[in-house]
A and B are shown apart, each in its own frame.
Chain A
Amino acid sequence: MNIFAGIGRTTMASLRETGQIANFARRGAFSWVSGPFYWRAFFNSLWRIGFASLPVVGLTAIFTGAALALNIYDGSLRFNAETFLPQILGVSIVRELGPVLAALMVAGRCSSAMAAEIGTMRVTEQIDAMSTLAVEPFKYLIAPRILATTLALPVLVLIADIIGVYGGYLVSVYALDFSGPIYVRNIAEFLENRDVISGLIKAAVFGFLIATMGCYYGYHSRGGAQGVGAATRTAVVAAAVVVLASNYFMTSLLVEF
C-alpha cells in the first residue's frame, strides 16, 4: 500500500512541478508585453549568453565535426560509400549535432549561471528588495534572460553548424585526402534549406527551455549556499534532460516537413 502511496505522491509532485514550470515560463516569456521592457538587461543577457558562449560552442563544434568525419569515413568505407562523407556529415551537424551540442554547452554554461545568480539574489533578499522598489523581478530578471537565450541560441547554432562543417573539412582534406572544393560543393549542393531551418527552430526552443530551467530553479531556491547549490545542480540537469527529450519530439515532428 505504501508503495502505491509513494508512487502517487511522486507522480502528483512531479505533475505539480511541471505545471508550475509551465506557468513560470508563460509568465516569464510574456510579462514584458504589458511593459516596461528592460532593454539594458536584455542586451546584457544577450551579451553574456550569446557572445560569451561563442568560444565554448565553437570548440565543441570543431572537434565534433572533426571526429564525425573520421567516424563517417571509417563506417562508410565498409560499403565503399566514403565519397558521401561530406553530405552525411553536413546533415548530421546541421540537423542534429549542431543544435543539440550547442544547446547542451549553453545549458551547462548559462542555466547554471542563471540559477546561481537569481538564487543568490533570492536568498539575500535582493528579489524582495526589487519588488519593494516597484520593479517586477519577472520583467527585470526573468523575461530578458528567456528572450535573450531564445534569440541567441539559433545564431549560436548557425555558427556552430559552420564551424562543425569546417572541422569536418579539416580532417577530410588534410587527413583523408578529400579535395577541398569538392567537399564544400557536395555539402552546399546536398543540404536543403529545411535541414538548416529545422535545426534553428530546435535551437530557439532549446534556448527557451534552458533559460526557463535556470530562472525557475534559481527563483525558487531556498536556504543559503546549499540551497543555491542545489538549485544550480537541478537547473543544469533539468535543462540538459529537457533539451534531449524535446529534441526527439521536435525531430519526429520536423522530419515530417
Chain B
Amino acid sequence: MGDANTTISVRDLHKSFGTNDVLRGVDLDLDRGKSLVVIGGSGTGKSVLAKCILGLVRADQGSIEINGRDIARQTESDRRYMTGLSGMLFQGAALFDSLPVWENIAFRLIYSQRKSRSAAREKAADCLSQVGLAPEIGDLFPSELSGGMQKRVGLARAIAADPQILFFDEPTTGLDPIMADVINNLILERVKALGATAISITHDMASARKIADEIAMLYQGRIIWRGRPEEIENSNNPMVEQFVHGRAEGPIKMALRRR
C-alpha cells in the first residue's frame, strides 16, 4: 500500500510477449495531481506500461495499485473501476472515423453514462472550446481534420468525463514544433484544471521538459532514472545523457532488428 496521497503505485511489473520480455520489474509511484513523463527509446515498453496501468494489457506479474486498489489481475470490475476514472490520448488520436467529431468527444457520455444526446452535445462543444477549437468543428468527421486538430479532439475526448488520471501516448509525435507546443500547453492547462494525475509517454525531450513534474526513463524494461526536469541535464547517468542529447554512440545500443 502506498500512502494516502499516492494515486498510482506499480510494483515489480513484468510483461512478456512470447520470448520478448518487455517489462522486467517496473516500480513506479505517482502522487495525486502530479505529472510524470516516461521517456525511453522506441520499443522499450513505454506504451505497454501505460496500457498495463490502464487495463488494456494484462501484466504477467506484479501489482498495480490505483488509490490503494490492486487492479493488476484485471477482473471485469477492476477494469470498470480504472476506465471509470481515467482518460487517454492515443498516439494516432484513435478517433472513431465513423462518427462526427462531437460524437467522438461525447462518446463516453452517450454510450457509457447514457446521457441524452443533446446534453452530451453541449458538453462536447464545451470540451472543444477548452482545447481551442470552434464548436462548428464538431460537425466534421475526423478524416477532415489535420493531425494537430485530431490530437486536440483526442484530448477533448479524454477529458470529457473529467477523469482523475490522464494518459498521453506520444502527444506531440508527428506534429510541427509550434503545434507540438500548443498541445503541450493544452495538456498542462487541462491537467491543472482537472487536478488530474498524468502519465505521459514521449521521446520528445522538449515536450517532456515542459509538461513533467518528474521524468522517468525506461530502459530494458526497468525504470533506470527518475528526477525533476531540471535535473535531467546533470543526471550523471550515461544512458540518460545519451538519450537526452540524442547520440547514436553510448551505452544504449540500438537494435537494428526487432528481437
Contact = CB atoms under 8 A, between A and B. Distances in A.
B94 interface: yes
Interface string A101-139: 000000000000000010001001110111111110000
Main secondary structure, interface of A, reads helix
A117 B92 CA distance: 17
B90 A133 contact: no
A38 interface: yes
Contacts of B88: 129, 132
A134 B56 contact: no
Interface in B86-113: 86-88, 90-92, 94-98, 107-108, 111-113
A36 interface: yes
B114 A133 contact: no
A140 interface: yes
A135 B90 contact: no
A134 B79 CA distance: 9
Contacts of B83: 131-134
B48 to A, nearest CB: 12
B96 A126 contact: yes
Contacts of A129: 88, 90, 94-96, 157
B54 interface: yes
B51 interface: yes
A126 B56 contact: no
B82 to A, nearest CB: 9
A134 B106 CA distance: 12
A131 B167 CA distance: 14
Given A128-B51, A140-B111, A134 B80 contact: yes
B41 interface: no
B25 interface: no
A132 B96 contact: no
Nearest to B57: A128
A25 B96 CA distance: 24
B84 interface: yes
Given A128-B51, A128-B56, A135 B111 contact: yes
B112 A125 contact: no
B163 to A, nearest CB: 9
Of the listed residues A125, A131, A140, the one surrounded by the most CB atoms of chain B closer than 10 A to its CB is A125
A13 B85 CA distance: 39
A124 B107 CA distance: 17
A211 to B, nearest CB: 17
Nearest to B96: A126
A139 to B, nearest CB: 9
Contact of B112 (A117, A121, A134): A134
Nearest to A38: B111
A125 B114 contact: no
Of the listed residues B79, B80, B112, B114, the one surrounded by the most CB atoms of chain A closer than 10 A to its CB is B112
Interface in A122-167: 124-126, 128-135, 140
A82 to B, nearest CB: 53
Contacts of B113: 134
11 contacts: A125-B90, A126-B94, A129-B90, A132-B87, A132-B167, A133-B83, A133-B87, A133-B157, A134-B83, A134-B161, A135-B107
Interface of A: 36, 38, 117, 121, 124-126, 128-135, 140
Interface of B: 51, 54-56, 79-80, 83-84, 86-88, 90-92, 94-98, 107-108, 111-114, 157, 161, 167
